[in-house]
Amino acid sequence: MLLHIPGIFNREEVHRIRQALEQAQWVDGKSTAGYQSAKAKRNLQLTDDNPLAREISEVMLQRLWQNPLFMSAALPHKVFPPLFNCYTGGGAFDFHIDNAIRQVKNSPERVRTDLSSTLFFSDPDDYAGGELVIQDTYGSQRVKLPAGDLLLYPASSLHKVEAVTRGARYASFFWTQSLVREDSQRTLLFEMDQAIQRLTVDVPDHPALIQLTGNYHNLLRRWADV
């Protein structure tokens, strides 16, 4: 499931964040890549201990934990601390699949990467190229979202970032370990939850809502990995 989640940051916030990112100290993105990925990766990144990265990450995670769409779709258990990248001057990241397990720096904690997320801080017109290309069951999906919006997709997907030939593409990316490991089960639960929410608005007193809600929670109880 690919899901567009709009408006994590508003336009004014995005403008301030992008100005700060433009002034930041960037390093070679290969420093955080595995052996295979490093051969395909040509971009810039902020270091894990960069104060700006930590500041934005803290606000971003607060927003996500309060976002009903993200919570319903991701069913998050753990989130790997967000990272920040910049693609410019031909920078690209060829086809790859994200590592299954990520070790949090200077911590014993590990995060299983069930879901990948990219939060865009550059608008599509700010740069040429730079599409996030994701291979899924429906073929190849090419994504360039408005600044402030987030894309959520299975980390098991083969994906790449096309070369940026004009301007700069600023974004944050991170991984989520879900309470439900299997993507098809998460998708079913998400669709059920969205249907229940719509019915709660349209027919709030319908007796079937109790049964549907119970079925949702019984499935979640069966599939949750905690």
Q: Say whether 28 counts as a known binding-site residue.
A: no
Q: Longest Cα pair distance anywhere in the chain, in angstroms?
A: 59
Output the six-digit token pair for 131: 């599409």
Q: At what angle do helices 183-202 and 208-223 cross, to 10 degrees?
A: 160
Type and span of the H or E element at 84: strand 83-88
Q: Say whether 4 counts as a known binding-site residue.
A: no
CA neighbor of 136 nearest in space, from 105, 165, 157? 157
The residues near 214 (Cβ < 8 Å, ≥ 6 apart) are: none
Q: Say whether 96 counts as a known binding-site residue.
A: yes
Q: Say whether 98 counts as a known binding-site residue.
A: yes
Residues at the annotated binding site for 2-oxoglutarate? 169
Residues at the annotated binding site? 96, 98, 159, 169
Residues at the annotated binding site for Fe cation? 96, 98, 159
